[in-house]
Structure 1
Amino acid sequence: MAAADASFNARDHGTALAEKNRVQCNYCGKVMSGFYRLKYHLGGIRGDVTPCEKVPENVEEYFRNILLGELHHPDRPRKSNVCSNSNGVKRIKLEAIQNANYESGSHEDVESELEGSTQHVSLPSRRIGSLTGSDNEKTNGSLSWQTQKSIGRFFIENGIDFSVANSPSFRDMINATLCHSPGKYEIPSCDELKGLILQEEAKEMREHGERIRHSWASTGCSILLDGWIDDQNGRNLVNFIVDCPQGPIYLRSSDVTASIDDVDALQLLLDGVIEEVGVHNVVQIIASSTKGWMGHVGKQFMERQRTVFWTVSASHCIELMLEKISTMDSVSGILDKARTITRFIHGDAAVLQLFRNYSGSRELIKPSKVRLAMPFMTLENIVLEKENLQAMFASSASNWASTTKGNRVVNLVKDRSFWNGATMVVKAAIPLVNVVRLINRADKPQVGYIYETMDQVKETIGKEFNKKKALYMPIWNVIDEIWNTHLHSPLHAAAYYLNPSLFYSSDFNCDEEVSSDLLCCICMVQDEHTQVLINLQLDKYINGKDDFREGSNMDQRNKYLPGKEIFHSAEWWLRYGNQCPELQKFAIKILSQTCDGASKYGLKRSLSEKLFTNGRNHMEQQPLSDLAFLHYNLQLQNSQLAVWGGIEADEIDPMDAWIFDEEPDLVSGR
Structure 2
Amino acid sequence: MGRTPADIRSHVKVTGSNTWECKYCKGIFTGSASRIKAHLLGLRGGGIGKCHSVPQQITEDLTAKLQLSQGVGSMQVSEDCLETLEMLPNAGESSSAPSKRARTDSVSSSGASANVATPSSRAQPPSNSGPIPRNLPESNVFMRSSMKASMQKQAMDQAKKEIGRLFILCGIPFNVANTTAWKRAMRAVSRIGTPWEGPSGRVLRTSELTKQKLAVETEMLSLRATWEKYGCSILCDGWSDMRKRSVYNIMVSSCKGTMFLRAIPAHAPGTVVTGEFIFSHVKKAIEDVGSRNVIQVVTDNGSNCVAMGRMLEEEYPKITWTPCASHSLDLLMEDIGSLPWVENILSKAKFIVKFVTSRPKVQNIFRSHSDLELQKPAFTRFCYIFIVLDRVLRVRKGLLRTVVAEEWYQIPEARDGDPLFMRFSSLVMGEDAFWSKAEVLIAALQPVYSVLRITDMEGSTLGLVYEYVSRIQGCIADVSGLSDTERHDLCEAVRRRWDWFHKPIHAVAHILHPLWRSEAQDTDVTLEDSWIEYLGRWTEGDMELYSQLQKERLQFRSMERYFGQPTARLRENQVSPITWWEIYGIGTPLLRKLALQILSQDCSTGPAERNWSTWALFHTKKRNRLSPQQLEKLVYTHCNLKLLESKGTHIAPLQVNVDSIDISKVKDIPRIPPEEKDIFSMLFRESQLFVRQTRRGTRGNTTDAPSTSRRPRKMASRRGGRARGRRGGRTIRPDPETSLPEDWEHRSASSSSDDDDDSLADIERVMGLHSDSGSTSSWASSFDEDVGIDDIVDEESEP
Q: Same fold (TM over 0.5)?
A: yes
Instruction: Work out whether 1:305 is the aligned partner of 2:316.
Output: yes
Instruction: State the match for 2:223 in structure 1.
Output: 212
Q: 1:589 aligns with which of 597, 605, 608?
A: 597
The one-letter code of the counterpart of 2:612 is G
The one-letter code of the counterpart of 1:491 is I
Instruction: State the match for 2:282 in structure 1.
Output: 270
Q: Distance in 2 between matches of 1:137 and 1:96?
A: 11
How do 1:103-118 and structure 2 match up within 5 A?
Answer: none
Q: 2:585 aligns with which of 568, 577, 589?
A: 577
Give the CA deviation at 1:514. 1.1
Checking the alignment, whether the CA contact within 8 Å between 1:45 and 1:51 is kept in structure 2 is no
Instruction: Work out whether 1:550 is the aligned partner of 2:572.
Output: no
Cα offsets for 1:283-341 (capped at 9, x unmatched)? 00000x22252133234543443111111222211221222322333223322221222
Checking the alignment, whether the CA contact within 8 Å between 1:137 and 1:144 is kept in structure 2 is no
Partner SS for 2:565: helix
CA separation of 1:541/1:86 partners in 2, compared to 1, >3 Å: closer, same or farther?
A: closer
CA separation of 1:102/1:368 partners in 2, compared to 1, >3 Å: closer, same or farther?
A: farther
Cα offsets for 1:210-238 (capped at 9, x unmatched)? 22111111101000012245674665x42
Give the CA deviation at 1:466. 6.3
Checking the alignment, whether the CA contact within 8 Å between 2:513 and 2:577 is kept in structure 1 is yes
How do 1:448-467 and structure 2 match up within 5 A?
Answer: 448-465=463-480
Instruction: State the match for 1:88 in structure 2.
Output: 61
Q: 2:442 aligns with which of 426, 430, 433?
A: 426
Partner SS for 1:239: strand
The number of residues matched between the two structures is 531
Deviates more, 1:539-548 or 1:92-101: 92-101
Q: Distance in 2 between matches of 1:481 and 1:503?
A: 26
Cα offsets for 1:452-492 (capped at 9, x unmatched)? 1111122112211568541122223333333222x322111
Give the CA deviation at 1:502. 1.4
Q: Distance in 2 between matches of 1:171 and 1:160?
A: 15
Give the CA deviation at 1:170. 2.6
Structure 1: stretches of 5+ with no match in the other structure? 1-32, 34-43, 53-59, 68-81, 104-131, 562-567, 611-615, 647-670
* Structure-2-length-normalised TM-score: 0.58
Cα offsets for 1:347-378 (capped at 9, x unmatched)? 4566445545555x244438989614234223
Q: Distance in 1 between matches of 2:182 and 2:583?
A: 53
Deviates more, 1:93-102 or 1:422-431: 93-102
Give the CA deviation at 1:594. 0.3
Instruction: State the match for 2:158 in structure 1.
Output: 146
How do 1:24-423 and structure 2 match up within 5 A?
Answer: 47=37, 49=39, 64=45, 88-89=61-62, 91=64, 95-98=68-71, 140=125, 144-157=156-169, 162-174=174-186, 178=189, 185-228=196-239, 232=243, 237-255=247-265, 260=272, 263=275, 266-287=278-299, 289-347=300-358, 351-352=362-363, 354-356=365-367, 358-359=369-370, 361-365=371-375, 371-387=381-397, 389-390=399-400, 392-394=402-404, 398-399=408-409, 402=415, 403-404=417-418, 405-413=420-428, 414-423=430-439
CA separation of 1:302/1:388 partners in 2, compared to 1, >3 Å: closer, same or farther?
A: same
Partner SS for 2:442: helix
The one-letter code of the counterpart of 1:501 is L
The one-letter code of the counterpart of 1:280 is R
Q: Distance in 1 between matches of 2:382 and 2:617?
A: 27
Checking the alignment, whether the CA contact within 8 Å between 2:184 and 2:197 is kept in structure 1 is no
Q: Distance in 1 between matches of 2:522 and 2:480?
A: 24
The one-letter code of the counterpart of 2:448 is L
The one-letter code of the counterpart of 2:641 is L
Deviates more, 1:223-232 or 1:534-543: 223-232
Give the CA deviation at 1:261. 7.5
Higher relative CO (CA 8 A, sep ≥ 6), structure 1 or 2? 1
Give the CA deviation at 1:509. 7.7
Deviates more, 1:139-148 or 1:185-194: 139-148
Checking the alignment, whether the CA contact within 8 Å between 2:568 and 2:574 is kept in structure 1 is no
Q: Which has the larger radius of gyration?
A: 2
Give the CA deviation at 1:166. 1.7
Instruction: State the match for 1:498 in structure 2.
Output: 512
Give the CA deviation at 1:570. 1.3
Give the CA deviation at 1:498. 0.7
Checking the alignment, whether the CA contact within 8 Å between 2:440 and 2:481 is kept in structure 1 is no
Q: Distance in 2 between matches of 1:138 and 1:314?
A: 62
Q: Distance in 2 between matches of 1:223 and 1:192?
A: 33
CA separation of 1:206/1:369 partners in 2, compared to 1, >3 Å: closer, same or farther?
A: farther
Give the CA deviation at 1:560. 4.4
Checking the alignment, whether the CA contact within 8 Å between 2:41 and 2:63 is kept in structure 1 is no
CA separation of 1:384/1:84 partners in 2, compared to 1, >3 Å: closer, same or farther?
A: closer
Q: CA RMSD in A?
A: 4.5
Partner SS for 1:227: strand
CA separation of 1:144/1:45 partners in 2, compared to 1, >3 Å: closer, same or farther?
A: farther
Cα offsets for 1:252-281 (capped at 9, x unmatched)? 233467674765565444333322221211
Checking the alignment, whether the CA contact within 8 Å between 1:221 and 1:284 is kept in structure 2 is yes
Instruction: State the match for 2:530 in structure 1.
Output: 517
Partner SS for 2:237: strand
Checking the alignment, whether the CA contact within 8 Å between 1:222 and 1:285 is kept in structure 2 is yes
Checking the alignment, whether the CA contact within 8 Å between 2:346 and 2:385 is kept in structure 1 is yes
Partner SS for 2:601: coil
Deviates more, 1:267-276 or 1:342-351: 342-351
Structure 2: stretches of 5+ with no match in the other structure? 1-23, 25-33, 49-54, 77-114, 127-151, 621-625, 649-653, 662-799
